[in-house]
Amino acid sequence: MARRPRADHHHVYVVLLSPQVWNEPAFRRANPDHDITKPCLYVGMTGLDPDLRFDRHMAGVQANRFVLKYGVRLVPELYEVYNPMPYDAARDMEVELAIGLREAGYGVWQA
């Protein structure tokens, strides 16, 4: 008998980006109110474990260009409290988390 996947196996995750990402015009345009004392971040969602998803970004597999070029490490203190969750919740939380972090002054990329 085949096992059904758990409905709540999706995750949001946050990647710390190196400060050099600020040199990217698209990143600057997306973050006009960035507080330069706060780091730049990427927010994503995945059906994989966030550590595995980060490794895949860094290996160039379905990678966001900013994570591939500027990714430093995961920032679990910004997302662990939300995980795991169903797909629809993760999809919505990805957007909400990105908006909240941007409003708090972080530079944020969310695709």
Domain ranges of the chain: 11-110
Q: Does residue 2 register a pLDDT over 60?
A: no
Distances (CA, A) of 68 to 12, 27, 62, 83, 100: 18, 14, 10, 23, 24
What are 43's strand-pairing partners?
14, 110
3-state secondary structure of 10: strand
What are 16's strand-pairing partners?
41, 73
| 111 confidence band (pLDDT: 50, 70, 90) | confident
- Per-residue pLDDT of 54-74, as tens digits, reads 999 999 999 999 999 999 999
Give pTM, 2 decimals. 0.93
Q: Does residue 3 register a pLDDT over 80?
A: no
Report the percent of the chain where pLDDT is more than 90. 92
The tokens for 99 are 């908006």
pLDDT average, residue stretch 76-84: 97
List b or e across 44-56, with b for residues whose CB sees 16 or more CB atoms inside 10 angstroms.
bbbeeebeebbee
Cβ-in-10-Å burial (0-12, 13-18, 19+) of 9 comes to middle
